[in-house]
Amino acid sequence: MEVVEKAHNVKILGSGKQLLVLAHGFGTDESVWKFYDFEKYSTIDGFVYDLLAILDELEVKLLNDEDYIGGFEQEDLGQMFEGMHSNFKACCLGFAPMVIGGDMDSTTAHLFVEIMLAGDLPQLSYPNIVILVILKHISP
């Protein structure tokens, strides 16, 4: 196991053309708090750095280029952001089957959309922020 994979307890399950990254947040207890780097994680940059290190070690990229196909095209991200801002509900309805791996008739897909549409905070800002911060760190 590589250094970054071991440090972040990375588990790789299966193989194929599509990638799904699941990152845990809490799942620990106070016994590990002494290892937490408050300065590093005081901004989103610390989390982005960790995710980019994992993806780099696994040779996964966010954007396609001449040597890599498996991420997004830059213009597709722009269209995705536009769709999220113009009709977030429709975007969630289209996105749910891709995330869940089923169709919109499934209970899981309906629950996903319900969760995405719940709450007072504008959920569409979260994916925008995450993707833009990652792009900031990997752009030349």
The torsion defined by the Cα of 15, 101, 109 and 95, in degrees rounded to 10, comes to 90
Ranges 17-26, 28-37, 71-80, 130-139, most confident: 71-80
- What average pLDDT score do residues 79-105 get? 76
pLDDT at 51 over 70: yes
pLDDT number for residue 1: 61
pLDDT number for residue 130: 63
Q: Give the span between the Cα atoms of 19 and 86, in whole angstroms.
A: 27
Q: Which residue has the tokens 């396609």?
A: 64
Q: Does the pTM exceed 0.75?
A: no
Better-scored residue on pLDDT, 85 or 54: 54
Q: Give the span between the Cα atoms of 64 and 69, in whole angstroms.
A: 5
pLDDT at 94 over 50: yes
